[in-house]
């Protein structure tokens, strides 16, 4: 390391969504961010407000970066929902860029440049790495994983000019403890699916080998090779965060938790052995689960599973290169999770290639049949950097180049059967049909009562 490098001061600035985007979560969707928009009906607005109040997540990369930079001996301060004080000097200011809020993030960057004319200000994140030309307000954009760059390659601020190419990948085992110092930890939540606070997020692995990389931003951002953090390190992370913030729950942000054979069992056994009382949730494929590993995870504190169901139509799935879980296994696992007291959040996609109003309605009907605690209906979206986007581009089917519309709740390409207006109406209908049901209400109330008496 350069002798003078230890004197470099950093500001990490999390820009909140502007106006009606204040409730967006920028860590989700492979780091591209989400901003749910279910429509303009009264019910849609109420549902969006409930979700905005219940789900608020930090950007995990900021916490890992703060840990890395402090480990290197740098001075670091984190800012969220506030602008750094003008009378404090920072050599480097790092902003996180997203697809759902990049215009506002660029505006914020210009304000910071006025306030800190002598600082180097740059963007990082999966979206800026793919579309650096949209972040020209900054002095530099990091093209690759910022954690890997500052852990392995950063020597001096002279490197922070223009497009900074990252030559390495993040070694999950070498990452230090994510440092949430300065984060408004008590404000983060994941209601109703993991309703315990204080709440934080962690990551045990990067990478996903499944074929849906053609559509999924995780595949482009993290690659197909699984990079795993050891069970001991992840358990250490939990212990430290409990000591520091008294956290009660953690949602893991792995693209697919438990891909390494035996990891689920080994991790659960480690938590049990250490007698750690922590509630946790994962996102995974249901075909990686069985009654035995669900039992051990439940005993170790698992209380939520996010699962991509996507569609009930096998023909649509095949056309869209989606590998569906066997339906009977899927339903068996969901029933078993409900019996154990593990919440399941199911994700569905409408407007895929070949979809019609009938196939969408069939998917909504299947969602009702599964009757999970939450259901998220989103619109098929060709994200920049994916094969899906390239295909739409080559076929001249993209309807807009305003990337803030690429938020999973608007149809941004010319569909063979469905118009943007029809898709919006069906999206609104999906949420209304799903949540305004006596069966859902009964299940939700039963879940609430069971949680209250199980404490």
Q: How many Cβ atoms sit within 10 Å of the Cβ of residue 158? A: 8
- Are residues 141 and 243 both part of a single domain? no
- Are residues 226 and 365 both part of a single domain? yes
- Are residues 133 and 231 both part of a single domain? no
Greater confidence (226 vs 356) lies with 356
Instruction: Report residue 430: phi and psi, to 5°.
Output: -60, -45
> Is there a domain that residue 44 lies in?
no
Residue 372 sits in a domain whose CATH number is 3.80.30.20
What's the pLDDT tens digit per position in 223-267?
Answer: 778 899 999 999 999 999 999 999 999 999 999 999 999 999 999
Last residue of a domain, one of 130, 165, 200: 165
Residue 74 sits in a domain whose CATH number is 3.40.50
pLDDT at 451 over 80: no
pLDDT value of position 1: 45
In the chain, the percentage of residues whose pLDDT exceeds 70 is 94
What's the pLDDT tens digit per position in 14-35?
Answer: 998 765 555 688 998 889 998 8
- Are residues 140 and 190 both part of a single domain? no
- Are residues 351 and 248 both part of a single domain? yes
pLDDT value of position 2: 46
**pLDDT confidence bin for 185, thresholds 50/70/90:** very high
> Is there a domain that residue 175 lies in?
no
Number of domain units in the chain:
2
pLDDT value of position 209: 75
> Is there a domain that residue 69 lies in?
yes
- Are residues 266 and 339 both part of a single domain? yes
Greater confidence (113 vs 448) lies with 113
- Are residues 196 and 270 both part of a single domain? yes
Which residues span the domain enclosing 26?
3-35+56-165
- Are residues 301 and 416 both part of a single domain? yes
- Are residues 316 and 204 both part of a single domain? yes
> Is there a domain that residue 133 lies in?
yes
- Are residues 239 and 327 both part of a single domain? yes
- Are residues 252 and 114 both part of a single domain? no
- Are residues 155 and 193 both part of a single domain? no
> Is there a domain that residue 178 lies in?
no
pLDDT value of position 289: 97
**pLDDT confidence bin for 424, thresholds 50/70/90:** very high
> Is there a domain that residue 354 lies in?
yes
> Is there a domain that residue 177 lies in?
no
pLDDT at 455 over 60: no
What's the pLDDT tens digit per position in 90-111?
Answer: 999 999 999 999 999 999 999 9
What's the pLDDT tens digit per position in 267-302?
Answer: 999 999 999 999 999 999 999 999 999 999 999 999
Contacts of 142-147 with C-beta under 8 Å, sequence gap 24+, read 142/166, 144/168, 144/169, 145/169, 145/170, 146/61, 146/65, 146/94, 147/61, 147/64, 147/65, 147/68, 147/175
pLDDT at 453 over 70: no
Measured distance CA(307)–CA(286) in Å, rounded: 7
What's the pLDDT tens digit per position in 385-403?
Answer: 888 999 999 999 999 999 9
What's the pLDDT tens digit per position in 305-329?
Answer: 999 999 999 999 999 988 899 999 9
> Is there a domain that residue 171 lies in?
no
């Amino acid at each position: 390391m350069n002798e003078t490098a230890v004197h470099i001061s950093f500001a990490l600035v999390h820009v909140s969504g502007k106006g009606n985007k204040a409730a967006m979560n920028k860590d989700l969707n492979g780091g591209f961010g989400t901003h749910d928009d279910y429509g303009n009906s009264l019910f849609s607005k109420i549902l969006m407000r409930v979700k905005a109040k219940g789900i608020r997540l930090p950007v995990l990369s900021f916490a890992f970066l703060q840990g890395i930079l402090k480990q290197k001996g740098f001075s670091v301060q984190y800012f969220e929902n506030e602008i750094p004080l003008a009378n404090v000097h920072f050599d480097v200011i790092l902003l996180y860029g997203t697809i759902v809020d990049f215009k506002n993030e660029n505006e914020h960057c210009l304000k910071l440049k006025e306030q800190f004319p002598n600082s180097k200000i740059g963007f990082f994140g999966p979206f800026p790495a793919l579309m650096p030309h949209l972040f020209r307000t900054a002095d530099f954009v990091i093209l690759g994983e910022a954690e890997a760059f500052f852990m392995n390659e950063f020597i001096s601020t002279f490197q922070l000019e223009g497009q900074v190419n990252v030559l390495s990948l993040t070694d999950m085992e070498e990452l230090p403890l994510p440092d949430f110092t300065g984060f408004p930890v008590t404000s983060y939540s994941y209601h109703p699916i993991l309703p315990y606070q204080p709440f934080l997020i962690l990551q045990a692995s990067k990478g996903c080998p499944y074929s849906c990389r053609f559509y999924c931003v995780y595949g482009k951002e993290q690659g197909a090779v699984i990079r795993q953090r050891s069970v001991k390190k992840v358990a250490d992370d939990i212990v430290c965060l409990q000591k520091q913030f008294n956290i009660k729950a953690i949602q893991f942000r792995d693209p697919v938790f438990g891909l390494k054979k035996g990891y689920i069992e080994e991790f659960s056994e480690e938590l049990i052995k250490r007698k750690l009382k922590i509630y946790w949730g994962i996102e995974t494929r249901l075909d990686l689960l069985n009654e035995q590993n669900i039992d051990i995870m439940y005993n170790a504190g698992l209380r939520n599973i996010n699962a991509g169901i996507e569609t009930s139509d096998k023909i649509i799935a095949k056309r869209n290169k989606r590998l569906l879980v066997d339906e009977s296994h899927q339903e068996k696992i969901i029933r078993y999770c409900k019996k154990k007291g593990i919440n399941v959040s199911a994700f569905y996609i409408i407007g895929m290639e070949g979809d019609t109003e009938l196939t969408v309605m069939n998917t909504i009907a299947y969602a009702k049949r599964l009757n999970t605690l939450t259901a998220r209906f989103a619109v098929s979206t060709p994200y920049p950097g994916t094969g899906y986007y390239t295909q739409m581009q080559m076929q001249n089917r993209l309807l807009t180049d305003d990337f803030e519309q690429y938020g999973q709740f608007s149809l941004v390409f010319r569909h063979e059967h469905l118009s943007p207006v029809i898709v919006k109406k069906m999206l609104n209908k999906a949420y209304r049909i799903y949540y305004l049901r006596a069966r859902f209400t009964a299940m939700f109330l039963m879940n609430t009562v069971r949680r209250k008496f199980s404490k």
